[in-house]
Structure 1
Amino acid sequence: MPHRRWIRLAATLCCTALALPSAQARPASRPNVLVIVADDLGFSDLGAFGGEIATPNLDALALSGLRLANFHTEAACAPTRAMLLTGSDSHRVGLGNMPESMAPNQAGRRGYEGHLRADTATLAERLSAGGYRTLFSGKWHLGTAPDQDPHARGFQHSFAMLNCCHDHFGQGLSTDRSKMFGYTRNGETVTSLPADFYSSDFFASQLIDQLRATRSESPFFAYLAFTAPHAPLQAPPATIAKYRGRYDAGYDVLREQRLERQRKLGLLAPAAQPHRPVDTVPWESLSAEERRTSSRKMEIYAAMVEELDKAIGRVIAELKAEGEFARTTIVFLSDNGAEARDPAPRPGTPIPPLATLGGPKTYANYGAGWAQAATAPSWRFKSFATEGGIHAPAFVSGPVVRRPGTIGRAYTNARDVAPTLLDLAGVAVTPGRFAGRDVPPIDGLSWRGLLAGKAAVYPPDRAVGSELFGSRSLRRGDWKITDIGDGIWHLFDLARDPGETRDLAAAEPARKAALIAEWDRYARDVGVVLPDPPFHPNPPRDHD
């Protein structure tokens, strides 16, 4: 080939390569990642999991992806979120208990710092080091000090509600970041919120702004962490009005309706027996006024879930408009089971009239009856290591799912999210080390095989323990032991009894003893310190 022709060809090839940076910077093996977390969402609240609430955006993602029908968390939010971001057991990384609930004998102990410890490695830190843009918007709840802010823990762009909960309309903003209603943007204290602030909508808008501001050929890891539908129950009046009268038949009827839809969707075996509700009374035994107030609370809750779905729909629309949706892996989960407590308002907070319930500066939660409509067929609810407290809705959507529209029945855990996403992103992990320092081990396992159509993630002899508020559990295969916090171990075969209705402890003493020994090993390994005094003092022994 003549020399000049060779030079022209080489120049043409070079220019072509420069014109196609995505071919070099964005190989198909480097997906975008969007992790979405709902707060206190019950297992059957979404339509794709058996609910009647309008959630078309989440349903579309779930039904076109892989629904994780056997996904588990810790029994409350901060420990789950710590596991999600590290892949490690919550006791290893500083969240052995909720920051607000430390028992006297836990305070100051290793693993009970009440924030994500500095010697951990977050998913954002690992992915950032691996070339990802890292974005965060929403509830943090993993520390309020400047060096504990998401911006200091690997998120290059962040808008954070630092603590556990807030007024969803932004009332009561505090510039003291240690207080309940404190926010930061990229680590700096937020001093004002817009007049039309509503948490789900604003968190989605902040993430959309971050995506637009950081457009590049680098893949992104975005973590969208909602506070909805966590109490206080608050939602726009027009959305609440859509559900007016929808729940007048009560929580007992709703529970049966949801169970029937779960059976039709293939999420629950026809013969599976649900656990009976606890800590509640039959709907018909309530007075007319009590029923009106209770159903209104559920209307507000439903409106919050719909608003959550609308916000997610806006993020999905943005990804599609930017051509990013087709190469984005989406992981959605709730951080624990539905919340049953309906505590009194904070001192000095007036009890609002029914007509204003759900507005700014009002406080309500919906109580144990509605919560157990959402957790059915499971036993109990948030704060317990029974299935009702730790069995949560979750799904994976995107091109990584090889059999879209299917249900994954394998046991999975919030600890698995970090190793799964690092695996899919091709980011290498050195066990126990990151950036030249020692870090806690990753306890979770990758879902790569499950996403490709394999049946299991955990080997049948792999035990997975948990503890929060003194309520304990250990899972090995389909067998589980659990203690609701009174020191009494129960044994269940969850393959045959997902509702934990038949305690086999007396019938299988050897199996029970072996699993208790496994839990003791787990507790020593991760450093469990059971609370004293107990968080659940003398819980009612409501098991058959």
Structure 2
Amino acid sequence: MLGLLLLILALLGNITRKIKPEAVKPNILVIMADDMGYSDLGCYGGEIKTPNLDRLAANGLRFRNAYNTARCCPTRASLLTGQYQHKVGLDRNGKSLTRDGVTIAEALKPHGYQTGMVGKWHLSEAIPLKDKAKHLDWLNHQYDPGIPFAEVSTYPINRGFDKHYGIIWGVVSYYDPFSLVEGDKPVKTVGKDYYITDDFSQKATEYIRDFTKKDDPFFLYLAYTSPHWPIQAPQEDIERYLPVYQEGWDVLQQKRRDRQIKMGLLTPQSNKLSPIQGRKWAELSAAEKEFNTKKMATHAAMVARMDRGIGQVLKTLEETGALDNTLIVFMSDNGASPEIMHVSGYDRPSETRSGEKLLYADAIPVADIGKEISYTGIGPEWANAINSPYRLWKAESIGGGIRTPMIVHWKGLKTPKGSVSDELTHVMDIMPTLLDLTDIPYPKVYQGNTIKAMDGQSLLPVLLGKKRPGYAQLFFEHEGGKALIEGDWKLVAPKRKAWELYDLKADRTESDNLMMKNPAKAADLKQKYEAWSKRMGVSE
């Protein structure tokens, strides 16, 4: 009798285990800004009004030692695959993501995740029309060649995303974007008061409301174009920031650094203020100051508008009851950009849809900066200043190019609210972190393709207040700019320049070149870089 009773209890226990619900997997929201300055956000020392991202930081975890790959496409490739970009086809900007890596969406989708993307893809090779005049007409929305914007097999909906609304190319007008698609169908017209940042924010809220109708968790990748050039924003938003930037880039850089020190993000001893590359503000004429003030005010308006949209997204998460079970990651694809384009071509239109001529570089009247006809960027001086305290800008392997603000917000964080981590972190850590968090295995084969190993490392131990092994070395290369970080040492060669050596513990802003003082260390690091470069197939 006792034996029978024990058998019944064992069977009941087995049944109970089988019907016990699995742990609820978290929703995931990854938000990426485009060409944003390291210190643009309020929570990273900026004066731009970013209350929503600041709120995430105040209740989450900020990283001050986080890195990207210095440029749009390579960073997006590393983010989505967890690999160095060279291994998945992005050895240079503008190519297609290859099939020897899986995207986060491809990894999560087979395990019950709903997957969506809103925004800039930029991982499909854009091939211009051979007829240059027709190509410009295509960019201008004045000619339809009847072809897709790139090979459709490379679109997001064919890389694991259930749905995608956004742009396929990388540079577009904020008022009438080229290459806008819904899935694989072109969106041929937009409304009169259209603004792309608002559109992406609204679409993200729609996706969340749709996802939360089901019990299955979701992964949403929200990739804004803001504040990438052309710098364009509603005039009323720009006007709010005009008084803020009249003192110029030298003063702005100093004020941001002072604020960063006061916030505890920096220490003055190891963060010398990097010299502005270009002219001093005092050297400008009154007209030049007015022109450049308007440009920076436009950039600020773009960042503020993005933050406002992120506020909409957060409100939707709250209203749908999804916020507490959503891991949110925010970062930028690279540092602020020095680019100022002078002519149309490739991805730059020459006219509006209605035939109004677009104005480039210095040909823009101050009153027109920020409007649809204005196609320019902030330039090197502002870019250097808003990457405070770091040197240089986008596309370089110096700090101003590859350091990114990074915020993680999640109810499961075991770190103090509002704390800051010094963990050496890379954008390619996001994929392994999400797989670790969701207990989903990384595939060795996907849809018949052999998948290369990830290079990133899970941040989950850090999020749980623990330590992780970390990187022995972290490597960087983009179109000639290259670097290696090992411990406190950084060996770096800006584009077309010689190697430089820095002790990041004493000199985070890479101001004191130690090449002559430590030739043995430099030689050792150079040898390690060259071995990695060879493995990646980097062409010198």
TM range (shorter): 0.7 to 0.9
Pair 1:258-2:270 in alignment: no
Could you list the runs of 5+ residues in structure 2 that have no partner in the other structure? 1-16, 125-149, 351-357
User: Alignment partner of 1:290: what SS?
Assistant: helix
Task: Map 1:275-354 to 2 at 5 A.
Answer: 275-346=273-344, 348=350, 349-350=358-359, 351-354=363-366
Amino acid at match of 2:154: Q
Conserved in 1, the CA contact under 8 Å of 2:254 and 2:273?
no
Conserved in 2, the CA contact under 8 Å of 1:88 and 1:444?
yes
Q: Distance in 1 between matches of 2:182 and 2:373?
A: 24
Aligned to 1:164: 170
Aligned to 2:512: 502
Conserved in 2, the CA contact under 8 Å of 1:234 and 1:360?
yes
User: Alignment partner of 2:269: what SS?
Assistant: coil
Pair 1:425-2:438 in alignment: yes
Q: Say if 1:427 and 1:197 are closer, same or farther in 2 by CA, change over 3 A.
A: same
Q: Distance in 2 between matches of 1:158 and 1:396?
A: 24
Amino acid at match of 1:468: H
2:96 to 115, 122, 141: 115
Aligned to 2:455: 443
Pair 1:371-2:383 in alignment: yes
Return 441-450 or 117-126, whichever deviates more. 117-126
Conserved in 1, the CA contact under 8 Å of 2:341 and 2:375?
no
2:106 to 119, 125, 133: 125
Q: Distance in 2 between matches of 1:434 and 1:267?
A: 42
Task: Map 1:122-521 to 2 at 5 A.
Answer: 122-143=103-124, 144-170=150-176, 173=177, 181-214=178-211, 215-346=213-344, 348=350, 349-350=358-359, 351-403=363-415, 404-430=417-443, 432-455=444-467, 458-459=470-471, 462-521=472-531
Q: Distance in 2 between matches of 1:401 and 1:282?
A: 44
Conserved in 1, the CA contact under 8 Å of 2:230 and 2:376?
yes
User: Alignment partner of 2:244: what SS?
Assistant: coil
Query: Could you tell me how far 1:487 is from its partner in structure 2?
Result: 4.7
Amino acid at match of 1:379: R
Pair 1:96-2:102 in alignment: no
Query: Could you tell me how far 1:406 is from its partner in structure 2?
Result: 0.6
Return 345-354 or 223-232, whichever deviates more. 345-354
User: Alignment partner of 1:243: what SS?
Assistant: helix
Conserved in 1, the CA contact under 8 Å of 2:269 and 2:506?
no
Q: Distance in 2 between matches of 1:211 and 1:456?
A: 32
Q: Distance in 1 between matches of 2:336 and 2:468?
A: 26
Q: Distance in 2 between matches of 1:52 and 1:499?
A: 21
RMSD: 1.8
Conserved in 2, the CA contact under 8 Å of 1:74 and 1:80?
yes
Query: Could you tell me how far 1:311 is from its partner in structure 2?
Result: 0.5
Conserved in 2, the CA contact under 8 Å of 1:333 and 1:393?
yes
Q: Distance in 1 between matches of 2:368 and 2:158?
A: 40
Q: Distance in 2 between matches of 1:406 and 1:486?
A: 38
Amino acid at match of 1:233: I
Query: Could you tell me how far 1:521 is from its partner in structure 2?
Result: 1.2
Query: Could you tell me how far 1:341 is from its partner in structure 2?
Result: 2.1
Conserved in 1, the CA contact under 8 Å of 2:99 and 2:449?
no
Q: Distance in 2 between matches of 1:362 and 1:486?
A: 31
Query: Could you tell me how far 1:436 is from its partner in structure 2?
Result: 4.7
Q: Say if 1:252 and 1:487 are closer, same or farther in 2 by CA, change over 3 A.
A: closer
Amino acid at match of 2:433: T
Conserved in 1, the CA contact under 8 Å of 2:270 and 2:505?
no
Task: Map 1:69-80 to 2 at 5 A.
Answer: 69-80=64-75
Query: Could you tell me how far 1:390 is from its partner in structure 2?
Result: 0.2
Q: Distance in 2 between matches of 1:294 and 1:277?
A: 19
Q: Deviations over 1:517-540 (max 9, x none)?
A: 11111111111113xxxxxxxxxx
Conserved in 2, the CA contact under 8 Å of 1:277 and 1:369?
no
Q: Distance in 2 between matches of 1:522 and 1:367?
A: 33
Q: Distance in 1 between matches of 2:490 and 2:188?
A: 48
Q: Distance in 2 between matches of 1:64 and 1:444?
A: 26
Q: Distance in 2 between matches of 1:524 and 1:165?
A: 32
User: Alignment partner of 2:171: what SS?
Assistant: coil
Amino acid at match of 1:340: P
Return 352-361 or 254-263, whichever deviates more. 352-361
User: Alignment partner of 2:208: what SS?
Assistant: helix
User: Alignment partner of 1:24: what SS?
Assistant: coil
Q: Distance in 2 between matches of 1:290 and 1:58?
A: 33
Q: Distance in 2 between matches of 1:457 and 1:74?
A: 22
Q: Say if 1:117 and 1:72 are closer, same or farther in 2 by CA, change over 3 A.
A: same
Query: Could you tell me how far 1:240 is from its partner in structure 2?
Result: 1.0
Query: Could you tell me how far 1:496 is from its partner in structure 2?
Result: 0.8
Q: Distance in 2 between matches of 1:428 and 1:367?
A: 44
Query: Could you tell me how far 1:211 is from its partner in structure 2?
Result: 2.0
Return 363-372 or 216-225, whichever deviates more. 363-372
Give the length in aligned residue pairs: 483
Could you list the runs of 5+ residues in structure 1 that have no partner in the other structure? 1-16, 100-113, 174-180, 531-544
Q: Distance in 1 between matches of 2:182 and 2:468?
A: 40
Amino acid at match of 2:72: C
Q: Say if 1:475 and 1:312 are closer, same or farther in 2 by CA, change over 3 A.
A: same
Query: Could you tell me how far 1:343 is from its partner in structure 2?
Result: 2.5
